[in-house]
Structure 1
């Protein structure tokens, strides 16, 4: 690889390589053991997503899920009338998601791709959803992430995400963006507060930011209070 920076993209790639996790963690290996005791491996939607639907804060339309993994939220949206494009860069995760969708007889367009390689027509989606992808996005990629969400959403559309709360028991490093590069590590995933999320997504209107509710398995919903759930609107 040539190590000369000629463009903004060259700079982003260089910063990617500075961070340890980008080369050490393998999502295909992570999803290959389906018996792993990971709470979100259960095929249950996020409790906040169910809450948004039941309270009509979101209504059926076209949805994009970023980092869909084994597809539990994409499948829930499809079952509730959404036309869903669900994106992940893990083939193992998407194979599992496709199996689940077939078992439940729902149609989801699963896309194997890095989210930053998506070619999305402007004002396409009524909902962009992200459950657990954002806190793994390094700070230097964040501006492109925000641009992707803004481009994808229709005016008045909703953007919702769950992410690590700062210092939560599941993860959530309480470090500054600069400290990420001083230590060359995101420490497994960045943690956020209400105010940090409002600042990062200041171009959107914050509808609600709260801790997720802890949910037992028999509820058929996923929820952990170590995570934040946030709902934003794109201005008309």
Structure 2
């Protein structure tokens, strides 16, 4: 299993990483209505989603491999008078008890591993979620030009390593739909979307997955 590597957040200039994804507002609303309370932002980055959930009354836990990102989140939380429980840690080995969380978000994070690692991470998500708990995660799709057209170094048949900042040296695992279903075979999959995001000169495909622990 490849060693995890954090994003170099000091090199990130786009403000998009400080604003919650539009998808996540739905899950804040849904999970509040369901009475979910204890929330994990798995790979929180600069904390854009952690802040949103804390503002909406969730008991918010946030984990990331980047000191820079966690410091930025702690500063925001303090300025806003919010309580967010941050931990420097690896998504391959979560420092949380079994069946601890009602809901879990991991947005553009868990793909940062290889084929062996993704199985470990999915197992960790299963371990820390309560029975009936829900997750919203994304996975890189093999439709992405970064997988099909770029000449990145490969770790295995599903994994490339990017060479540009802020992701230089960061592994990326890619899947197809059958692979997604196999990985999540122990969960109830509520919804899968396959979406292309268009950038100036390229695009990126991801699976957006909503599921529940049986």
Q: TM-score, length-normalised on structure 1?
A: 0.71
More helix by share: 1
Point out 4+ residue stretches in structure 1 off by more than 4 angstroms: 55-59, 182-185, 212-215
The answer as to whether partners of 2:115 and 2:156 remain within 8 angstroms in 1 is no
- 1:185-230 Cα shifts (integer Å, max 9, x gaps): 6243233343321221111011011145969xxxxxxxx9733311
Could you tell me how far 1:33 is from its partner in structure 2? 3.3
Matched, 1:120 2:99: no
**Matched residue, 1:195:** 178
- 1:45-75 Cα shifts (integer Å, max 9, x gaps): 2222212333458643101121111001111
Could you tell me how far 1:147 is from its partner in structure 2? 1.9
**C-alpha distance 63-182 of structure 1, shift in aligned 2 (>3 A):** closer
- 1:94-139 Cα shifts (integer Å, max 9, x gaps): 1111122223322111111123343321111001211111111211
Matched, 1:107 2:95: no
* Max Rg structure: 1
**Matched residue, 1:33:** 11
Q: Give the Cα–Cα distance (whole angstroms) in 2 for the partners of residues 181 and 55 of structure 1.
A: 38
More strand by share: 2
User: Please, what is the CA RMSD of the aligned residues?
Assistant: 3.1
Q: Give the Cα–Cα distance (whole angstroms) in 2 for the partners of residues 139 and 60 of structure 1.
A: 31
The answer as to whether partners of 2:103 and 2:135 remain within 8 angstroms in 1 is yes
Structure 1, unpaired ranges of 5+: 1-11, 216-223
Q: Give the Cα–Cα distance (whole angstroms) in 1 for the partners of residues 196 and 54 of structure 2.
A: 23
Q: Give the Cα–Cα distance (whole angstroms) in 1 for the partners of residues 69 and 6 of structure 2.
A: 11
**Matched residue, 1:226:** 205
Structure 2, unpaired ranges of 5+: 163-171
Could you tell me how far 1:167 is from its partner in structure 2? 2.8
Could you tell me how far 1:174 is from its partner in structure 2? 5.4
